[in-house]
Amino acid sequence: METSDPKRRRSRRFALPAHSKLFLLLIVALVLLYGVIYPNARVLIGALQLEGHWSLANFLDVLAQRSVLESAITSVAVSVLTVLLCALVGVPLAFLFERYSFPGRRIFATLAALPLVLPPLVGTVAFIFLCGESGILARLVQHVFHLTRAPWSLRGWGALLLFHTYTMYPFFYVLTGAGLQRIDAGLAEAARSLGASRWRLLTRVTLPQLTPSLIAAALLTFMTSMASFSAPLLFGGNVRMLTLEIFNARQRGDAGVALTETVLLAMISLAALILFQRYEGTRRFVAAAMKGTTRRRLPLQSGKARLLAAGGGIVFSVVLALPIVTLMLVSFSRDGLWTTETLPPSYTVANFVRLGADADARSVFVNSILMAGIAAIAALIWSFCVTALTATGESKRWKRLTNLLVLIPWALPGTVVALSVAEAYGQNNPLTGSYILVGTFWILPVVYFLRFMPLVVRAVQASMEQLDRTLEEAAGVLGASWWRRFWRVRLPLIAPGALAGTLLAFVIGLGEYVASVLVFTPGNRPVSIAIASSLRDFNLGTAAAYGVVLIAMITIAMVAAGRLEQSSG
């Protein structure tokens, strides 16, 4: 029983002062009500009403359309296959880098997580330049073998799954790696001493302990894949995923279908979340070990194995870096001049100069930085409000409800979040004070905030959980008031983790496309929209240049986040 250990329990004595608590409670309740509950309720109501009457007819009508059901099945199928493929790539890679040491291991280990920070749209564009039917690889094959037509087309299932695997395997790679690090090496030693073979050790000791990591990775991959939009849009071909169908229905002006499909997508995502978490709950192991044995990486002894591992690492990192290298190459190409050649024929810095000189292009970056920044900072402040409430040992039921409501926007695909906000704040309504958010600058910061605040809350909560509670008790006994304890003890200790989470939210916000494309206005066009429209106008160089600048900004932010995390640990 968790409450019976006085050292672990947070004492009720340490609750917030009553008036501060009431204030926080009000903020949290209002944001959750207007940001999470109301918009989603509007979508649900919209899908379940027909001309002002409650009716399942509309909902069932839409469901009965073959294309809707098909796209739902397609979405799930793509996601399941993506999870399997990502596990196949990510897990062995994690074992290789975590268990063995060989020349260059550290560099490759870092590189392997690279696709995580690639904005999906930018990744998609890079992929098209590299592997598309008029991309560098296809042209190369065409020229070498003197083919009259492109040797393949980057369309359909294969293309989609290839891209998904490339961008999402890092979930498995990173989480399995972290899981392997946590496993007490003493357990492996115990198993070996009991006579377990390597295979038995792997299947009976290591993998069961990794299960929580694997489930978490599978969940992340599944949800990301369900929400995937850029890839199906640009090279999905006849693979009609739900996100794309919602977008198309909205473009057609078919609100009923869009809402129903949104509800469908939301339901599948939430069901997956609940299913995974159920399973995870039954599979959590608490290490009974008192003192862990630190694991040493096995050096690869034989020359052949070292060569193979290092060579494989190099090939692997080249494969990983190729799309980004391609993007850089194309960003220096002249718009409109690259037609049938393998590589762009002539190079210029004009694209970058134009990005700097053109007021329109500059404003796009300013918009993205501003909107992602506002959302990230708001998310940080909001996270402190939520954790201050959930960490004070109050009623468990409310705590759970708050956490659940906070998580919902994370579980919902960006398409759903954007659409629900648009639906709720798109027309006059006394419930919202008749404030119309749609069409204003603020719609995107609000949507970004809702999408990314669960991430920041999670980061802050994780830092709080690692925080030794006796520290605050010690401060209390030494005479510090609640606010002093908060400012002098809690805040400095959770700041690194919280800031790292905030930076991550900022970085994802910088390249956000899925939700932006549904609700952006001329006044707040973000970078991703500029990339998409350049691409549509066949200004490939400009599109790539946008992407390169975006990646540079993200890299800087990620390096800063890494520094912060190091200084905390």
Partner 1 sequence: MPLLSLNSISKRFGATAAVADVSITVEEGEFFGLLGPSGCGKTTTLRIVAGLESPDAGAVEFAGQDITSLAPEQRGFGMVFQNYALFPHLNVFENVAFGLRARGARSNGPTVREGSLQLDIKTKVQRALELVQLPEFDKRRVDELSGGQQQRVAIARAIAIEPALLLFDEPLSNLDVALRQETRQELRALVNRLNLTAVYVTHDQEEAFALCDRIAVMSDGCVVQTGPPRELYEQPANVKVAKFLGRNNLIRAMRLTSSNDPLTRFKTLEGGHTLTALASHEQLMHLPVNKPILLAIRPEAIKISKGTAPEDNRIAARISQIEFSGATTTLTLDANGLKLEALVLRADGLQVGAECVATLPADQIKLLGEG
Tokens of 436: 């119309």
397: contact with partner 1 by CB under 8 A: no
By CB under 8 A, the count of residues binding partner 1 is 27
CB contact at 8 A, 172 and 220: no
Tokens of 110: 């870092």
Strands 100-101 and 53-54: unpaired
Q: Which is nearer to partner 1, 64 or 478 (CB)?
A: 478
Piece of the chain touching partner 1 by CB under 8 A; list 78-86, 110-118, 389-397, 474-482: 474-482
Residue 187: CB minimum distance to partner 1, A: 24
Piece of the chain touching partner 1 by CB under 8 A; list 130-138, 180-188, 193-201, 480-488: 480-488
Q: Which is nearer to partner 1, 353 or 471 (CB)?
A: 471
Q: Which of 80, 473, 533, 565 binds partner 1 (CB under 8 A)?
A: 473
Cβ neighbourhood burial of 407 (10 Å; 0-12, 13-18, 19+) = middle
Q: How far apart are CA 441 and CA 439, in angstroms?
A: 7
Q: How large is the C-alpha radius of gyration of the chain?
A: 25
Residue 394: CB minimum distance to partner 1, A: 15
Residue 493: CB minimum distance to partner 1, A: 6
One-letter amino acid of 466:
Q
Strands 100-101 and 298-299: parallel
Residue 475: CB minimum distance to partner 1, A: 7
Q: How far apart are CA 438 and CA 519, in angstroms?
A: 7
Residue 50 CB coordination number (10 Å): 14
Piece of the chain touching partner 1 by CB under 8 A; list 11-19, 31-39, 344-352, 433-441: 11-19
Closest CA to 221 of 109, 118, 24, 81: 81
Q: How far apart are CA 481 and CA 411, in angstroms?
A: 38
395: contact with partner 1 by CB under 8 A: no
Q: Which is nearer to partner 1, 485 or 525 (CB)?
A: 485
In the region spanning residues 481 to 520, those forming contacts with partner 1, defined by CB under 8 A, are 481, 484, 488-489, 492-493
Residue 17: CB minimum distance to partner 1, A: 10
Helix, strand, or coil here: 101?
strand
Tokens of 181: 């690090």
Q: Which of 1, 18, 288, 290 binds partner 1 (CB under 8 A)?
A: 1
CB contact at 8 A, 447 and 545: no
Piece of the chain touching partner 1 by CB under 8 A; list 4-12, 266-274, 345-353, 377-385: 4-12
569: contact with partner 1 by CB under 8 A: no
Cross-strand partners of 49? 54
Q: Which is nearer to partner 1, 308 or 471 (CB)?
A: 471
In the region spanning residues 292 to 331, those forming contacts with partner 1, defined by CB under 8 A, are none
H or E element that contains 188:
helix 185-193
Tokens of 171: 């979930």
393: contact with partner 1 by CB under 8 A: no
19: contact with partner 1 by CB under 8 A: no
The CA–CA distances, whole Å, from 544 to 130, 330, 333, 488, 539 equal 12, 6, 9, 46, 9
Per-residue binding letters, 441-470, with partner 1 (x by CB under 8 A): ---------------------------x-x
Q: Which is nearer to partner 1, 203 or 567 (CB)?
A: 567
Q: Which of 270, 350, 407, 480 binds partner 1 (CB under 8 A)?
A: 480
For partner 1, the binding residues (CB under 8 A) are 1, 3-4, 6-7, 9, 11-14, 468, 470-471, 473-481, 484, 488-489, 492-493
